[in-house]
């Protein structure tokens, strides 16, 4: 169904055929007819993203313009591009799109009716439009669709390539956000995650100004109505651990925390599926075998059209994009109350952080500002086969246009106001660093998560970690005591001590950037010197 707010309002003229808010079956037909993808056994659409199989952080820019310039957290993450360069790029892109068929989806970002943002995504390819239809909140009322007025618009043209020497980009790929024009341009990359994360970035720009904390987290609700949120970067387990058959899923990746509680930004999930275990992750596995799911860079046998989730020949960052209605126990209105528990997930590649630790509010602020984890191979362009230990503020620095302290202060205020319990859970390595030890089993991690949310760790004895200052429980139902103490899992205690001191030093070094602005009690909540 079309809109009375036409493409000419975005400066687009003389398009070919325009597919307005096409349904999933129509987009399937168009994607296959245009040879954009293949239908696999049981119905998912399998697509390839070519050279770019992950995000391209070096190709993301924000236009430097008067209305936002003084608020942006400029630096290596938020790189500036000048307005005249944006205008040249936009003019080139508009010329390219003339005469081409376009696909338009009008939808919302944000499940809270009072805070949702109307968006429009215009794509060159049918499968990207289907991705948008899966990932954002659909407008179901025909009259509402006709009257839809986007507050932000995304133009996605993967086959269009920038001229870096002319428009100032780093390569032929680009993700450029103009906050004043409320316009996002994406080109030169087919990786669908760029669309999703660009919209997340603009919400991270808008919502804190309304006293709403925007969060890179998953969220679910227990049988007693208790809400939990899970912070963490890609590969730490947000999607896996929140898709719990004993709890109801609010969302797997991006949420807001407003005056009424937690709400999903999206209407779908974007899960990593490499080597997915059907027994350990049954809900996500089932989605890889359903009509309406997009499988990105998943291997397929073109004779039988069966997929192989264990095949990483294209990338480790294989993905499934599916509507949240594919999850049987999802909260369809995407909303929950104020959280009773906050879990901060990390994948410690060095094998020295405990599998679980209780955090004071000050420690929660410290670890939120730090955002330590290990980026896994394939999640970003340029990463090798080895995980890379990184610190990413707010567990999502690449998507935060404002200074990290803006989000951290909001989090701290909400933790104290609602008396939220906070935990650090390591889903990474034990028994040694990557290459020596092994990853903590998902069974142990699930048992730990269950214990934190059920209150089973409230009354057990705790021991203070001498290096990181964390309170570590001495027992946990379903988990051996040895696992809870990482030092005991190493064969060489001296090597463990050395590695722990090194990681603690890395924490302190990273936190120096906040030393002048963070309160003294938060600085003191980090590892010992």
DSSP lists the bridge partners of residue 255 as: 215, 264
Q: Is 388 a catalytic residue?
A: no
Q: What is the mean pLDDT of residues 189-204?
A: 98
Provide the 3-class DSSP secondary structure of residue 471. strand
Question: How many domains does the chain fold into?
Answer: 2
Are 390 and 247 within one domain? yes
Q: What interhelical angle do 361-370 and 404-418 show, nearest 10?
A: 150
In a shared domain, residues 233 and 166:
no
Distance from C-alpha of 422 to C-alpha of 294, rounded to nearest angstrom: 35
Instruction: Give 3's pLDDT tier (boundaries 50, 70, 90).
Output: confident
Same domain (yes/no): 181, 222: no
Query: Which CATH number goes with the domain that contains 451?
Result: 3.90.228.20
Q: Answer for the pair 215, 257: CB distance below 8 angstroms, yes or no.
A: yes
Instruction: Report the percent of the chain where pLDDT is more than 90.
Output: 89
> How would residue 379 be classed by pLDDT, with cut points 50, 70 and 90?
very low
Say which of 128, 216, 248, 358 is annotated catalytic.
216
Give the other-Cβ count within 10 Å of 192's Cβ. Answer: 27
SS3 per-residue string spanning 445-470: HHHHHHHHHHCCCCCCCEEECCCCCC
Active site residue 253: yes
Q: Do 268 and 134 contact (CB within 8 A), yes or no?
A: yes
Q: Tokens for 152?
A: 């932000």
**From 129-143, 405-419, 456-470, 510-524, the region with the lowest mean pLDDT:** 510-524
Say what the pLDDT of residue 1 is: 67
Note whether residue 323 is domain-resident: no
Catalytic one of 59, 112, 253, 444: 253
> Is 358 noted as a catalytic residue in this protein?
no
Q: Name the phi and psi angles at 2, rounded to 5.
A: -80, -170
Do 84 and 160 fall within a single domain?
A: yes
User: How much is the average pLDDT of 182-200?
Assistant: 98
For the range 451-458, what are the long-range contacts, defined as Cβ-Cβ under 8 Å and sequence gap of 24 or more?
Answer: 451/356, 451/476, 451/477, 451/478, 451/479, 452/341, 452/343, 452/356, 452/421, 452/423, 452/425, 453/222, 453/226, 453/228, 453/247, 453/341, 457/356, 457/358
455 and 346 belong to one structural domain: yes
Same domain, 220 and 179: no
How far, in Å, CA of 449 to CA of 355, rounded? 10
Read off the pTM: 0.93
The four Cα atoms 181, 186, 187, 191 give a dihedral, to 10 degrees, of 180
- In a domain, residue 256? The reply is yes
CA 73-78-82 angle, 5° bins: 105
Tell me: do 217 and 181 sit in the same domain: no
| 190, 223, 241 - which closes a domain | 190
Select from 190, 221, 246 the last residue of a domain.
Answer: 190
CA distances from 381 to 52, 196, 316, 485 (A): 7, 17, 11, 35
Tell me what pLDDT residue 402 has.
96
Per-residue pLDDT averaged across 462-475, rounded?
Answer: 96
Residue 256 DSSP one-character state: E
Q: How far apart are CA 76 and CA 302, in angstroms?
A: 42
Backbone angles phi, psi at 230, to 5 degrees: -125, 105
Whether residues 418 and 345 fall in one domain: yes
Pick from 155, 190, 225: which residue ends a domain?
A: 190
The predicted structure's pLDDT at residue 384: 52
Domain range for 507: 213-267+333-523
Contact predicate 318/273, CB 8 Å: yes
- Give the pLDDT band (50/70/90) at residue 529: low
Quick one: angle between helices 493-511 and 361-370, nearest 10?
80
Which run of H or E residues covers position 335? strand 335-336
Say if residue 169 is in the same domain as residue 219: no
pLDDT tens digits for range 71-128? 999 999 999 999 999 999 999 999 999 999 999 999 999 999 999 999 999 999 999 9
Q: Is residue 231 part of a domain?
A: yes
Element (H, E) at 409: helix 404-418
b/e 307-317 (16+ beta carbons within 10 angstroms → b): bebeebebbbb
| Percent of the chain whose pLDDT exceeds 70 | 97
- Rounded-to-integer distance, Cα 406 and Cα 385, Å: 34
CA gap 134, 321 in Å, rounded? 7
- pLDDT computed for residue 387 by the predictor: 56
Q: How far apart are CA 21 and CA 1, in angstroms?
A: 6
Which of these is catalytic: 198, 239, 240, 242? 239
In a domain, 49, yes or no: no
Which of 55, 79, 181, 247 is flagged as catalytic?
Answer: 55
- Given a cut of 50, is residue 289 above it in pLDDT? yes
Query: Does residue 238 have an active-site annotation?
Result: yes
260 band by pLDDT with thresholds 50, 70 and 90: very high
Report yes or no: 189 and 158 within 8 Å, Cβ to Cβ. yes
Our CA angle for 188, 192, 194, nearest 5°, is 70
216 given a catalytic annotation:
yes
Residue 515's pLDDT is what?
82
- pLDDT of 468 over the 70 cut: yes
Asked about 201 being catalytic, the answer comes back as: no
At residue 30 the predicted structure's pLDDT band, cuts being 50, 70 and 90, is very high
More confident residue, 43 or 435: 43
Do 484 and 377 fall within a single domain?
yes
Catalytic status, residue 498: no
Q: Write down the catalytic residue from 56, 189, 218, 234.
A: 234
List 82's β-bridge partners, or say none: 64
pLDDT, one tens digit per residue, over 118-158 is 999 999 999 999 999 999 999 999 999 999 999 999 999 99
Is the residue at 242 inside a domain?
Answer: yes
Exactly one of 10, 92, 181, 319 is catalytic; which is it?
319
486 lies in the same domain as 366: yes
Residue 279 belongs to some domain of the structure: no
Let me know if residue 121 belongs to a domain: yes
3-state class (DSSP) for residue 48: coil
List the structure tokens of 72.
């942006």
Which residue is catalytic, options 79, 181, 196, 197? 197
Residue 297 located in a structural domain: no
Report the CATH number at residue 21.
3.40.449.10
Can you tell me the mean pLDDT for 3-15?
Answer: 95
Q: Report in angstroms the alpha-carbon separations of 382 from 87, 273, 397.
A: 29, 20, 18
- Beta pairing partners, 270: 321
How far apart CA 516 and CA 96 sit, in angstroms, is: 48
The predicted pLDDT at position 60 comes to 97
247 and 180 part of one domain: no
- Per-residue pLDDT at 380 exceeds 60: no
What is the pLDDT of the chain when averaged over all its residues?
94
* Contacts made by residues 136-143, CB under 8 angstroms, sequence distance 24+: 136/105, 136/107, 136/108, 136/109, 136/199, 136/266, 136/267, 136/268, 137/107, 137/108, 137/109, 137/110, 137/111, 137/266, 137/267, 137/334, 138/107, 138/267, 139/21, 139/106, 139/107, 139/108, 142/1
From CA 400, how far away is CA 205, in angstroms rounded? 7
């Amino acid at each position: 169904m079309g809109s009375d707010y036409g493409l000419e309002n975005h400066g687009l003229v003389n398009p070919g055929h325009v597919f307005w808010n096409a349904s999933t079956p129509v987009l399937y037909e168009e994607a296959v007819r245009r040879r954009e993808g293949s239908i696999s056994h049981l119905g998912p659409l399998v697509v390839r993203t070519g050279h770019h199989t992950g995000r391209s952080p070096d190709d993301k820019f924000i236009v430097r313009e008067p209305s936002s310039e003084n608020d942006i957290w400029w630096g290596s993450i938020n790189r500036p591009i000048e307005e005249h360069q944006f205008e040249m790029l936009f003019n080139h892109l508009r010329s390219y799109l003339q005469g081409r068929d376009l696909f338009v989806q009008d939808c919302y970002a944000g499940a809270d009716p009072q805070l949702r943002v109307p968006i429009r995504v215009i794509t060159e390819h049918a499968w990207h439009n289907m991705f948008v239809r899966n990932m954002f909140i659909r407008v179901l009322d025909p009259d509402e669709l006709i009257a839809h007025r986007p507050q932000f618009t995304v133009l996605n043209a993967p086959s269009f390539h920038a001229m870096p020497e002319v428009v100032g980009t780093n390569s032929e790929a680009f993700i450029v956000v103009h906050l004043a024009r409320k316009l996002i341009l994406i080109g030169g990359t087919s990786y669908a995650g760029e669309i999703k994360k660009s919209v997340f970035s603009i919400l991270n720009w808008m919502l804190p100004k309304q006293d709403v904390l925007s969060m890179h987290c998953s969220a679910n609700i227990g049988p007693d109505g208790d809400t939990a949120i899970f912070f963490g970067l890609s590969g730490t387990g947000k999607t896996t651990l929140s898709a719990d058959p004993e709890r109801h899923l609010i969302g797997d990746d991006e949420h807001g925390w407003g005056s009424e509680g937690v709400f999903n930004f999206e209407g779908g999930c974007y899960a990593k599926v490499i080597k997915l275990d059907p027994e350990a992750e049954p809900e996500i596995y089932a989605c890889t075998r359903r009509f309406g799911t997009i499988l990105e860079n998943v291997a397929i046998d073109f004779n039988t059209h069966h997929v192989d989730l264990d095949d990483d020949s294209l990338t480790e960052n294989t993905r499934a994009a599916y509507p949240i209605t594919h999850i049987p126990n999802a909260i369809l209105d995407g909303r929950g109350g104020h959280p009773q528990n906050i879990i901060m997930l990390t994948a410690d590649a060095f094998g020295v952080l405990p599998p679980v630790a209780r955090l004071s509010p000050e420690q929660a602020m410290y670890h939120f500002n730090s955002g330590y984890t290990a980026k896994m191979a394939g999640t970003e362009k340029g990463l090798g086969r080895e995980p890379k230990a990184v610190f990413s503020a707010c567990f999502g620095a690449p998507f935060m246009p404002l200074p990290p302290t803006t989000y951290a202060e909001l989090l701290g205020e909400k933790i104290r106001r609602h008396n939220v319990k906070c935990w650090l859970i390591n889903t990474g390595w034990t028994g040694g660093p990557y290459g020596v030890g092994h990853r903590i089993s998902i069974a142990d991690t699930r048992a730990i998560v269950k214990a934190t949310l059920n209150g089973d760790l409230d009354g057990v004895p705790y021991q203070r970690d001498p290096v990181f200052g964390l309170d570590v429980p001495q027992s946990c139902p379903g988990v051996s005591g040895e696992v809870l103490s990482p030092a005991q899992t190493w064969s060489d205690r001296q090597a463990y001590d050395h590695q722990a001191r090194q990681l603690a030093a890395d924490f302190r070094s990273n936190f120096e950037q906040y030393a002048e602005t963070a309160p003294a009690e938060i600085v003191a909540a980090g590892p010992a010197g």
